[in-house]
Chains A and B, each alone.
Chain A
Amino acid sequence: MKTIALLHFIFFFNAYGINLPAGKLWKCEEKIIQILKQQNIEINNGWKESLQKNGLPIFKANTNKIAQWMYINKSYFDTESLVILNTEKKIEYHFNPLKGCSSFVTSVSMTQTNHGASELSWFTDKDLQNLLSTKPNGIIFVWSPHMSLSLKAVEELKDAVKELNLPITFLLDPQADQKLSKSSIQKYSMSMEALKRVDSLELSMRNALIHFPALILVKDGKICPKIQRGYRVSKKFKAIITDIMGSCNEK
C-alpha cells in the first residue's frame, strides 16, 4: 500500500515538479498534471493570473516552447479546464470533478489573422523565433503613436544602448492608426521596420500590449520574464536593462 502511495505521489507531483496556482481549488489537479507530463510540457516562470472578459480569473503559463502557452480556469459549476495552445492548434481538456474528474477533449486548428489584403506589416511568432536566433541578445521595444512618451523614449533608449551594444527591434502597437504611425517614425528617425505590428501569441500572452512603451529583453536567445513599462531617461534605461539582463535566467 505504501509503495502504491509512493508511486502515486511520484507520478503525479514531485517527480514532475509542477504545481497549480492556488492548488486547493483545483479538484482535478492530478489529472491536469498527468496530461502535462504525458505531453512533456514544462512550465516556465510560474503561473500568472489574468482576467477574462467577464472579470473572472484565469491562470496562464508559458511552456518550454516559444509561442506555446497554456491556461487553466474554473467555469461555473466547478468545471475545470486546461487549454494548451500554440500558433497551429488549441487543445481544450474539460474535467468534471463531480464525475471523478472525467474529461472530454476538443481540438481546433488556430486561424491566423488575415494580413494579406492590407498594407500593414505584422510581426508574428515565426518572426519572433527568427529574431531570437539571429539576435540572441537584444531589446524589443513596443511603441505606440498614441502614447507620446513611448516616442520620447526612443531617443533615450538609443542613447542608453550605445555602450551596451544591444540591437533594438521596434514593434508597433497592433491597434495603432497607420497614418499616424508612419508620420511618427519619420519624426523619430525609426526605420520602416518599426511599423511591424505585434501579432505574436508569445508577446501578447506576456502582456506586452498592456501599456506603451514596453521594453522586453532577450538574453541568450530567450525572452527575459521582467518587462519594463514606460518612459525613462537614458541612464535609467541603461540601469534597468543591465538589471533585467542580470536577473534574466532567474526563475
Chain B
Amino acid sequence: MKNNFLGLFLLIIISSVFAQDQRANSSFCGLNAPQPDVVIPSNEVSGNYWTNMLDDNTVMFTAEGGTAGEYQAYDLLKRKAYKLTDEIDPFPVPDGRRIYVHPGPIQFFEFDEILKRVAQGEDQTKLVEEAGHSPRKDRIKRKKYEKYENDEDADEDDENEFDEKKDEFGIEKDFEIGDVDGRMWGYYESVAVLESHKSLFKNYSIYRILTGEEEGTFKDYKVKFTAEGRIAKVTSQSKAKVMCPNWRTGNTKVDLDFDTPILSPKGDEFGITNRATGTTQIIKFDGITGHCSVAMDLGFEAGKIHFNADGSKIAFHSQNINVGAVKSVTVNNRGYLLDRKSNTIVSLQMGDVTESTAEQYPAFLSDGRIIYQRVKFNSLTGKQSRAWVIVDPNKLNSAVFKKLPNKFNYTNDNNLPLIALASLYSNTCGSVNADDSLMWTLNMDPLKCQNLVSAEWENQKSSILEKLNTTSFPKISEDTINKEMLLSACPKKKVGEIITLQPDVGVAMKYPAIIAQRCVVCHLPNSPRGYIPFDKPEKLRTMQAFGKSSEAGGPFEKMTFTEQIEGILNANEAGKILPSNVPKVPADGPRLNRAEIDEIINWVKKGTEVIP
C-alpha cells in the first residue's frame, strides 16, 4: 500500500514535470521550417531512384527491378503511371517537344504516340524496334547488319564475305549491331538543345546527344517536325565524336576516368565523376573538336548531377557525414543545390531538420524548383518508403554559404547571437546537434523564438556562456552578448524568404578571379595536372621550379617557381610562338594576354594579398 502511494506520488511529480515541459514546448519550441511544395507519397513511387522530367508534371523513369527495365511515366497531377517502351533510363529532350531518346541505337520517340500505342495493347519491345526515329542512313546500316545477324544459316564464309562488303554497304569495319557512325551506341544518354524553332515555316530542333560509350561520345541531330508536332525527319548534323580527344592517350578504352556523364541543356558542358580525382567535375568542351577543359571541380564526389536550363546551377546528392552523431556515424545521400555564379551551396533539406532521410537524384523543373526522391528505410523490417518531393530553393532557410575554392568564410561575429540562440533552444527544447545549430535557429518559429528569449535568457545565460566558453567561444561575455541581440537574431521573416549568413572575408584568403579561373582550377589537390599550392602563397614564393622544363638542360633549370612561372607565362603570351620546350599554360582555354600575365605574376610574387 505504502509502495502504491509512493508510486502514485512519483507519477504525479513526473506528470507535472512532463506537463510543464509540454507547456514550455508549446510556448517556446517548434520550428518554422519551410515545407515542400509537393510530396507524392511512397505508395505511388515505384520507379528507380534516378528519374527525369518530360515536363513539369511528368516524371519519366525505369520501373525498378525489371529484367530489362521498362520505361514508365508518372503524371504528378493525375497521380497516375503509364507504360512506355521497354528499356532502361529514358531521357526527354529539354525543349518541351514531348519526345525522348532511347539508349542503344540512338532513336527519338514521340511520347504521346507511344503512350497511345501501348494503351492500345501494342507490344512494348516491338515498339522499340518499330516506332523510333533516327537518320535514314543510320537505319539502312542497321537493317543491313541486322539482316546478316539474323541469318541463322550464316557460316564463317558468310561472315568473311559480310566483312568484305562492309565498305560497299557504307558500314564501318568495327560496326556492331545498333551502332551509328560506329560509336553512337550506349547508355547514360543525355540530350542538349542547340537550336529550337517552333514557327509554321521553321519547325525543327537541333539536338546534341551524349552517351557513355567510349567514356563519352557525342553527335548532333536535326529533327524536323510537322505542324502537329510529330517527327517528320531526323538527319545527322555531324559524325559521332569522342569527348576530350585532347585528354586521351591513344587507348580509348580506358584512358578517361569518366563515370555517369550528363550533358548540360545548352550542350557546351557535361558533368562527370572522375575516378582519378574522386571528385565530380563540370567539363567544358568544344562542339566541333570535342576538346575539353575543366570548368569546375566540386572538390568532392557527388551523385549524378543535373543542370538547370541555363547551366548556372546544378543539383546533386552527395554522401553526407553527420559529424554530430554521438555514438555512430551516419552516412546518407543528401540533396544540395550549387549556384555557380555566387559559388554557394544550399542544403535541399526541408521540413523537419532533425529528420533522418536520404534525398537522392535531384532534378530541376523549368521554373527552377527541384524534384528529388526522399527515401526512408526501416532497418528492422527491410521496408523502404519513398516520396517524390518538389521544393523551391528560394524558400530554403537553411542557406549556408560556401565559396569556392575558399572553404571556410562563414565565420563571423555576427553569427554569435545565432549560436547562443541555438544553445538556448537546445537547453530548453531538446538536444541540438552543434553542427546543425545554425540550421535550427534559422528555422525557428519567429514568435516562439521571441517568447523563448524573453522568458529564458536571463535564467540560463550564465550556464550558456559558461558552456560556450568552455568549448570554443572565449570571446563571449555578458558584455558581448545580451538579450536584445538574441531577440534581434530571432527569425523575423516569413517562411519562404531567404536568410543568409554574413561571411567574414578576413578568415580565408581569396584569390583574384584570374588566379581562381586560370590557375587554381587545374591545380587543386589530386588534380590530374598536379597540385600547385596556390592556397599557400608563402610556399609558392619559395619553392623550386618543377616539371620537365626545370630538369637539366630545360629552360628553367635551377630556377625558383616564381621565375619559372614568369618565364612560362611570358612565352605563352597570346600571339607569340611557343617554344617546343615550354609547356602550354594554361593547358586549356584561350591564351593569356599581357595584362592577364602581369596580374598572375604579380600575385604569385606578392602572394599573400587578400582581396576584400
Binding site for B on A (CB under 8 A): 21-25, 46-58, 60, 71, 73-79, 81, 83, 85, 90, 94, 96, 98-99, 104, 108-111, 113-115, 117-120, 144-149, 151-152, 174-180, 183-184, 187, 201, 204-205, 207, 209-212, 225-231, 235-236, 239-240, 242-244
Partner of A180, one of B65, B320, B327, B358: B65
Instruction: Note all chain A residues with C-beta closer than 8 A to B257.
Output: 226
Q: Is the interface of B mostly helix, strand, loop or mixed?
A: loop
Partner of A90, one of B329, B349, B398: B329
Do A24 and B382 form a contact, CB below 8 Å, given A53-B334, A184-B65, A211-B303? no
Besides A56-B400, A111-B327, 15 new A-B residue pairs in contact (Cβ under 8 A), listed by A number: A25-B508, A49-B279, A50-B319, A52-B435, A53-B334, A54-B435, A54-B439, A60-B321, A77-B472, A104-B471, A109-B327, A118-B381, A175-B358, A183-B65, A229-B275
Instruction: Note all chain A residues with C-beta closer than 8 A to B321.
Output: 50-52, 58, 60, 71, 205
Instruction: Note all chain A residues with C-beta closer than 8 A to B331.
Output: 204-205, 209
Give the distance in Å from the alpha carbon of A236 to the alpha carbon of B259 in the complex: 12
A108 touches B318 (CB 8 A): no
Give the distance in Å from the alpha carbon of A108 to the alpha carbon of B329 in the complex: 12
A51, A74, A151, A179, most chain B CB atoms within 10 A: A51
Do A175 and B327 form a contact, CB below 8 Å, given A53-B322, A148-B62? no
Give the distance in Å from the alpha carbon of A79 to the alpha carbon of B322 in the complex: 17
Number of interface residues of B (CB under 8 A): 90
B304 interface residue (CB < 8 Å to A): yes
What residue of chain A has the Cβ atom nearest to residue B375's Cβ?
A175
B333 interface residue (CB < 8 Å to A): yes
Do A118 and B419 form a contact, CB below 8 Å, given A48-B278, A145-B65? no
Q: Is the interface of A mostly helix, strand, loop or mixed?
A: mixed
Quote the shortest CB–CB distance from B498 to chain A (angstroms): 14
Instruction: Note all chain B residues with C-beta closer than 8 A to A71.
Output: 321, 323
B411 interface residue (CB < 8 Å to A): yes
B379 touches A118 (CB 8 A): yes
Instruction: Note all chain B residues with C-beta closer than 8 A to A22.
Output: 407, 525, 535
Quote the shortest CB–CB distance from A211 to chain B (angstroms): 5
Give the distance in Å from the alpha carbon of A212 to the alpha carbon of B318 in the complex: 13
A55 touches B347 (CB 8 A): yes
B525 touches A46 (CB 8 A): yes
Instruction: Note all chain A residues with C-beta closer than 8 A to B67.
Output: 187
B301 touches A55 (CB 8 A): no
Instruction: Note all chain A residues with C-beta closer than 8 A to B349.
Output: 53
Quote the shortest CB–CB distance from A114 to chain B (angstroms): 7
B88 interface residue (CB < 8 Å to A): yes
B536 touches A23 (CB 8 A): yes
What residue of chain A has the Cβ atom nearest to residue B329's Cβ?
A85
B78 interface residue (CB < 8 Å to A): no
B121 interface residue (CB < 8 Å to A): no
Instruction: Note all chain B residues with C-beta closer than 8 A to A120.
Output: 379, 382
B400 touches A55 (CB 8 A): yes
